[in-house]
Amino acid sequence: MVLAAGLGTRLRPITDTIPKPLVEVGGRTMLDRSLDLAVAAGVERAVVNVHYLADRIVAHCRGRERPEIVISDETDCLLETGGGVVRALPLLGGEPFLLLNADTFWVEMGRSNLAAMIEAFDPARMDIMLMLCRLSDTTGHVGGGDFLVDETGRLMRAADRSDPDALLYAGASIYNPAIFEGAAAEPHSLNLYYDRAQEAGRLFGHVMEDGHWFTVGTPEALPAAEARLRELGGASGN
């Protein structure tokens, strides 16, 4: 599943007329960059949720050959991350599924990080696995890290985000759909499920290797992101 329903308010005025997932960074939309990463990891079918300027995203998705895309319509009500997933569950099926943000991405510099995370996910021990990255491997992020990881791969939230060992959530994760049993398709955050999984010892992390992660939160952040993409050879056409 790709989360593409947000309002992108911090990226205004660009997002007054363009949904944030369709903003181009280095000549390619952020949504396409996320979907390209999924395809490279072997994903054949994706559910994309839509709300703000939904018709634009739906039309864009029709123009892609891969992966097969199914739309989860939230035009009646923006459901946030948790509610959006719950509404899409009938489209996702009963097996563990991958979740990606449509407004963050990374450039691979080696093996597919998503493929490595998929291989590492063990539903017998894990309810959620989050892709994490080192702060030194990011462009556009302001602030500290989110999680600490122990020697077993289990995660706990970083009490001090400035802790040098804290890692950043990279906008990609795997979920066991059973954790959403009984949940309502109403606005709520996925953070609720992170906390439950951490308490149960079933929240795990996979640290990105050989990749550089990007977020573009404001119009002013675009030039820096595009300059770094050119350095890494990740701009469109390179």
144-174 pLDDT, tens digit per residue, is: 899 999 999 999 999 888 888 899 999 999 9
Domain boundaries, the chain: 2-232
Domain at 2-232: CATH architecture: Alpha-Beta Complex (3.90)
Please report where in the chains the tokens 């701009």 appear, as a residue: 235
CB-based contact 11:218 (threshold 8 Å):
yes
134: nearest Cα among 169, 180, 179 = 169
Q: Rounded mean pLDDT of the chain?
A: 93
> Span 233-237, mean pLDDT?
63
State pLDDT tens for residues 91-149: 998 999 999 999 899 998 888 999 999 999 999 999 999 999 999 999 988 888 999 99
**H helix runs in the chain, sequence order:** 30-40, 54-62, 80-92, 113-120, 191-199, 222-232
pLDDT confidence tier of residue 221, bands split at 50, 70 and 90: confident
pLDDT of residue 162: 83
Give the predicted TM-score (pTM) of the model.
0.91
Q: What is the pLDDT of residue 164?
A: 85
Pairing between β-strand 97-101 and β-strand 2-3 as defined by DSSP bridges: parallel
User: Which residue reads 């009646």 in tokens?
Assistant: 76
Q: Is 211 exposed, middle or buried (0-12, 13-18, 19+ CB in 10 A)?
A: buried
What is the pLDDT at residue 236? 59
Per-residue confidence (pLDDT) for residue 161, from 0 to 100: 84
Distance CA 153, CA 147 (A): 11
Instruction: Please state the φ and ψ torsions of residue 13, each to the nearest 5 degrees.
Output: -85, 0
Residue 232 has a pLDDT of 87
Give the pLDDT score at 142.
84
Which backbone phi and psi does 232 adopt, to 5 degrees?
-90, -5
CA distance 113 to 101: 15
DSSP 180: G
Percent of the chain with pLDDT over 90: 79
pLDDT at 237: 45
The token pair at 107 is 């450039």
Phi then psi for residue 59, to 5 deg, are -65, -40
The length of the chain, given as a count of residues: 238
